[in-house]
């Protein structure tokens, strides 16, 4: 019911604007006709508004019926053709019904007399106007629908990426712990004393894992420092069977990589290669042209459990979310090498939490712009219509009735402007935000 009343009010406003617009046009082009309308202003205005309401409501019903039925498929050549053809037919029927009501009910004309005076000229102008108004609506609705669809798509993409990124980070916990416990199990059988030291060091390393896994990016220097700690953990088991080369610092302290990427790559190298004193595993970490490389000599185990691929896929997928730069793998008969991008702190995330926030800000800003546009449209109509009414008032009667629509509409315009620009004279600008925060922090709410 509220939607019906809203459309009815919109029809009255648009009908009034159209009436006074034509009245102004006649004043400059056809003064005798203007004087004739002014003499019967009340009757002419009422006839025009009733006629426009019937036309508007009939066409709006047809348009909303099509939109509800076809929605996103509405803007296809076939549906648009059906819509326009339907507007012509419905407008013709609405013109007939409107003229019938006005002439037979309001002006007491007989039905036979009404039919006798009907001709094509009575229908042409209203149908053309109806098509113009409908076309404007189609264009505006298409633009609005396209913008809303774009915002929804970006929100879904950003939300999915955010959830996916969180899932990948949470994946590190069980993955690291599972592999570390496997190492610890082997070490207990081989060297119980080293197993105790391994357990102590493992607790320190795991604390770092818990602290850093929630971060999106971490400095290369921090990750290198952790890699050296993790290397010491591995050396407790393999001793001199592993040879590491790790730089002290990155060339630029601002460079960042995804957390725990080096740990995953070191773990992957040890897991898939033979490591013993006779055939030591050489692992080297180095920087080259904006990338960090982790390489090892390839001496794959002849019998190895089927890999889950969690480590490499985790790094690849996190980089795919954060940057256009990709992780790359190079494999030859003698060497296995992984290249990971080093990013700046100002990296532009493609599909991250920031994208989600940006889409929310865009949606809020779009609503504010639409509200301000609506206010300016209302203000423009006010500035056009009220002077016309004042002129008509001056030409027809000494009673200044124009003050009533000027004040009534003016107060409504003031309220519209306050709402559009987010100003409330009764409450401060941050009152609503403070009250929301107060209720959020209230445990009894």
Tell me the pLDDT tens digit for each residue of 310-338. Answer: 667 778 877 877 777 888 999 998 999 99
* C-alpha dihedral sign at 139, 143, 146, 152: negative
Residue 144 counted as domain residue = no
Report the CATH number that the domain containing residue 266 is assigned in CATH: 3.30.565.10
**Is the separation of the CB atoms in 51 and 99 below 8 Å?**
yes
**Strand duo 242-245 + 281-288: pairing:** parallel
Average pLDDT of 73-85? 77
pLDDT of residue 156: 45
Q: Rounded to two decimals, what is the model's pTM?
A: 0.42
Farthest-apart Cα atoms in the chain, separation: 114
Question: What pLDDT is recorded for position 348?
Answer: 40
Torsion sign, CA atoms 201, 205, 208, 210:
negative
Q: Is the dihedral of CA 89, 90, 94, 95 positive or negative?
A: negative
Domain's final residue, options 290, 320, 341: 341
How far is the C-alpha of 168 from the C-alpha of 317, rounded, in Å?
A: 8
Q: Are residues 251 and 309 in the same domain?
A: yes
In a domain, 141, yes or no: no
In the chain, what percentage of residues exceed pLDDT 70? 75
Last residue in a domain, options 118, 141, 166:
118
Examine the domain organization and report whether 364 and 393 are in the same domain. yes
CB-side neighbour CA atoms (13 Å) of 177:
11
In a domain, 152, yes or no: no
- Which residue range(s) make up the domain with 365? 352-445
Classify residue 127: in a domain, yes or no. no
Pairwise pLDDT comparison (186 vs 70), residue with the higher score: 70
Torsion of CA 115, 121, 122, 124, to 10 degrees: 130
3-state secondary structure 40-92: CHHHHHHHHHHHHHHHHHHHHHHHHHHHHHHHHHCCCHHHHHHHHHHHHHHHH
pLDDT band at 442 (very low <50, low <70, confident <90, very high): low
For residues 348 and 355, the answer to whether their CB atoms sit within 8 Å is no
Q: Which residue has the higher pLDDT, 257 or 355?
A: 257
User: Mean of the per-residue pLDDT values for the chain?
Assistant: 76
Same domain, 217 and 313: yes
Given 341, 363, 381, the domain boundary residue is 341
Whether 290 is in a domain gets the answer yes
Kindly state whether residues 113 and 169 are assigned to the same domain: no
Q: Say yes or no: 363 and 331 in one domain.
A: no
| Of 258, 182, 191, 270, the residue nearest 226 (C-alpha) | 258
Note whether 67 and 74 are within 8 A (CB): yes
Is residue 89 in some structural domain?
yes
Beta bridge partners of 281: 242
Q: How many CB atoms lie within 10 A of CB 302?
A: 6
Q: What percent of the chain has pLDDT over 90?
A: 7
Q: Could you identify the residue written with the tokens 């949470």?
A: 170
pLDDT, tens digit, 9 for 90 and up, residues 217-264: 888 998 898 888 888 877 877 778 889 899 988 888 888 988 878 888
Residues 198 and 335 both lie in one domain: yes
pLDDT of residue 172: 46
Return the sign of the alpha-carbon dihedral for residues 424, 426, 430, 432.
negative
Residues 292 and 403 both lie in one domain: no
Residues 372 and 436 in one domain: yes
In contact, 282 and 297? CB cutoff 8 Å: yes
Number of domains in the chain: 3
Residue 410 lies in a domain: yes
- On whether both 301 and 435 belong to a single domain, the answer is no
Same domain flag for 210 and 304: yes
* pLDDT confidence tier of residue 177, bands split at 50, 70 and 90: low
For the cut 50, the answer to whether the pLDDT of residue 347 exceeds it is no
Q: Do 362 and 252 reside in the same domain of the chain?
A: no
Report the candidate in 277, 278, 261 with the shortest Cα–Cα distance to residue 269. 261
Judged against a pLDDT cut of 70, whether residue 399 lies above it is answered with: no
Judge whether 139 lies within some domain. no
pLDDT at 176: 59
**Calpha distance 310→267 (Å, rounded):** 11
pLDDT of 432 higher than 60: no
Strand order in the sheet with 328-331: 242-245, 281-288, 291-297, 335-341, 328-331
If you average pLDDT over residues 359-382, what whole number do you get? 76
Are both 305 and 362 inside the same structural domain? no
């Amino acid at each position: 019911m509220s939607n019906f009343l809203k459309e009815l009010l919109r029809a009255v406003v648009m009908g009034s604007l159209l009436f006074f617009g034509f009245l102004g046009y006649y004043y400059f082009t056809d003064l005798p006709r203007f004087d004739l309308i002014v003499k019967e202003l009340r009757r002419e205005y009422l006839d025009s508004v009733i006629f426009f309401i019937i036309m508007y409501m009939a066409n709006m019903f047809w348009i909303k019926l099509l939109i509800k039925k076809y929605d996103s498929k509405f803007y296809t050549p076939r549906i648009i053709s059906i819509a326009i053809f339907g507007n012509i037919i419905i407008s013709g029927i609405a013109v007939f019904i409107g003229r019938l009501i006005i002439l037979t009910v309001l002006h007491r004309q007989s039905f036979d007399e009404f039919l006798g005076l009907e001709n094509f000229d009575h229908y042409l102008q209203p149908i053309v106007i109806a098509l113009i108004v409908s076309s404007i609506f189609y264009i505006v609705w298409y633009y609005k629908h396209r913008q809303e669809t774009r915002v929804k798509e970006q929100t879904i993409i950003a939300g999915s990426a955010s959830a996916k990124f969180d899932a990948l980070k949470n994946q590190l916990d069980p993955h690291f712990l599972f592999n570390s416990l496997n190492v610890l199990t082997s070490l207990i059988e081989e060297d119980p004393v080293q197993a105790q030291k391994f357990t102590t060091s493992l607790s320190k390393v795991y604390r770092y894992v818990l602290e850093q896994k929630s971060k999106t990016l971490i400095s290369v220097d921090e990750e290198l420092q952790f890699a050296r700690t993790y290397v010491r953990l591995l050396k407790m088991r393999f001793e001199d069977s592993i040879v590491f080369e790790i730089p002290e610092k990155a060339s630029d302290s601002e460079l960042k990589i995804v957390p725990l990427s080096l740990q995953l790559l070191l773990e992957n190298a040890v897991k898939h290669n033979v490591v013993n004193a006779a055939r030591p595993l050489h692992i080297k970490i180095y920087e080259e042209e904006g990338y960090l490389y982790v390489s090892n000599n390839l001496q794959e185990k002849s019998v190895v459990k089927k890999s889950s691929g969690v480590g490499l896929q985790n790094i690849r997928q996190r980089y795919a979310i954060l940057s256009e730069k990709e992780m790359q793998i190079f494999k030859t008969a003698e060497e296995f090498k992984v290249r990971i991008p080093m990013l700046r702190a100002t990296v532009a995330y493609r599909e991250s939490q920031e994208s989600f926030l940006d889409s929310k800000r865009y949606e809020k800003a779009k609503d504010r712009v639409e509200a301000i546009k609506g206010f300016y449209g209302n203000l423009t109509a006010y500035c056009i219509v009220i002077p016309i009414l004042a002129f008509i008032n001056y030409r027809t009667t000494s009673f200044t009735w124009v003050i009533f629509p000027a004040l009534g509409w003016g107060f409504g315009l003031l309220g519209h402007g306050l709402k559009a620009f987010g100003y409330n004279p009764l409450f401060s600008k941050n009152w609503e935000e403070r009250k929301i925060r107060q209720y959020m922090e209230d445990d009894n709410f």
